[in-house]
Amino acid sequence: MVEDVVRTLGFLCMGSRLRRIGERLQADTQQVIDEAGLGIQAGQYPFLAAIDRSGPLTIGELAQAVGITQPGATRTIGQLLELGYVDMQPAPDDQRRRLVSLTDKGQDLVDHSKKVIWPRIAAAVADLCGNLDGPILEQLAAIEDGLAAVPLARRNAAKEER
Amino acid sequence: MVEDVVRTLGFLCMGSRLRRIGERLQADTQQVIDEAGLGIQAGQYPFLAAIDRSGPLTIGELAQAVGITQPGATRTIGQLLELGYVDMQPAPDDQRRRLVSLTDKGQDLVDHSKKVIWPRIAAAVADLCGNLDGPILEQLAAIEDGLAAVPLARRNAAKEER
DNA sequence: GGGTGTTATATAACGTGTTATAGATTAAAT
DNA sequence: ATTTAATCTATAACACGTTATATAACACCC
């Protein structure tokens, strides 16, 4: 048995570790989706959810809502277009922007997911994380906000100045 | 301003979110490494650290130690070979296994990193996470262990049986 | 009102993870 | 002893994120 270095090294490998856990969680989530017979990728859901919540959004707004870069959003929306879950049309007032909206098929998928799949996933994750002694979601939010406020690279400089 | 769906959806998008934060953290870590003038990728460090801690390891052991799949380990070790930080030789007793060890150059890098870079990174991450009201590292460990014990997909079934 | 800068999206190239599978070596079984 | 199964590493193909850059449309300014 080999020791888990990433775990052993603690804060030093926090990035790798969060990624690793996230990948694992998302893979497990995918399994739940597949078992339900849905033909969609876990990573595509946030896009549909964003449009469902806010109404038609542009590529750039979607990228921002989902927290990835614009080319990534362009690609995922391209997939959802292929699958027929969304529709894309130039914004009437600005031809540069493309408004992405849910098709009927997409809305059906979202409605069904909201009723059946999402609660199941959320419950499973809550079951996994809920009993931890700290509010993990708030902590993640704090980390995100902290990084946005002062990136890691500048936390040394700041410290050395003191 | 568009709302952050991944954050809004909470447990539902936990996988995406952990990944996202991990990527961000690792990118920031990379910046610290680059500023120090080291010619190495953040993701390669755990491999060097694993060998430094445990002595020469095979590809499979490295994959396990770092928590990725074997093909991923093969690739990263290939890079470290190119860079001259590690050496690889067939195990004397089993020609299938390849023992990966640190070269002098690799050991120098690890020694220097242990003194200068790693403490800086660990301190910065601790600065970011340390003041949270829960012990985040323990929680991550609990999540990892929880997933290993009962994968997400089976946490529904279990619940429905109750 | 035509040039110039800015903004929005698309595309290309790459990094790094995954799964599936092939190839080589060892272990087991008949 | 030869065949068969298991194990270890390498390779191929793909997923999905990134950065850098091209293209098209808009906004501004002289």
pLDDT digits 0-9 by tens, B13-52: 888 899 999 988 898 899 888 888 888 999 999 999 999 9
| pLDDT of B109 above 90 | yes
Residue B148, in any domain of the structure? no
Confirm whether any atom of chain C, the nucleic acid strand, is less than 7 Å from CB of A69: no
Neighbour count for residue B139 (Cβ, 10 Å): 18
State which residue of chain B sits closest to A133, comparing Cα positions: B134
Q: Are B42 and A118 an interchain contact pair (Cβ–Cβ within 8 Å)?
A: no
Residue B153, in any domain of the structure? no
Confirm whether any atom of chain D, the nucleic acid strand, is less than 7 Å from CB of B89: no
Count of domains for chain B: 1
Residue A134, in any domain of the structure? no
Confirm whether any atom of chain C, the nucleic acid strand, is less than 7 Å from CB of A88: yes
The enclosing H or E element of B87 equals: strand B86-90
Q: Which domain does B45 fall in, by range?
A: 5-131
Contacting residues of A for B133, CB less than 8 Å apart: 134-135, 139
Q: Which pLDDT belongs to residue A156? A: 67
Q: Which pLDDT belongs to residue B136? A: 83
Helices (DSSP H) in A4-152: which residue ranges? 5-8, 14-35, 45-54, 59-66, 70-83, 104-112, 118-129, 136-149
Q: Which pLDDT belongs to residue A157? A: 54
Residue B25, in any domain of the structure? yes
Residue A137, in any domain of the structure? no
| pLDDT of B55 above 60 | yes
Contacting residues of A for B8, CB less than 8 Å apart: 53
A40 secondary structure, DSSP code: -
Q: Which pLDDT belongs to residue A133? A: 59
Q: Out of A134-138, B53-57, B93-97, pick the least confident.
A: A134-138
Looking at residue A83, which CATH number applies to its domain? 1.10.10.10
pLDDT, one tens digit per residue, over A125-149 is 888 887 665 688 888 888 888 888 8
Residue A23, in any domain of the structure? no
The partner residues of A65 in beta bridges, in order of sequence, read: none
Q: Which pLDDT belongs to residue A162? A: 46
Nearest nucleotide to the CA of B72, by C1', is C17
Q: Which pLDDT belongs to residue B105? A: 94
Residue A74, in any domain of the structure? yes
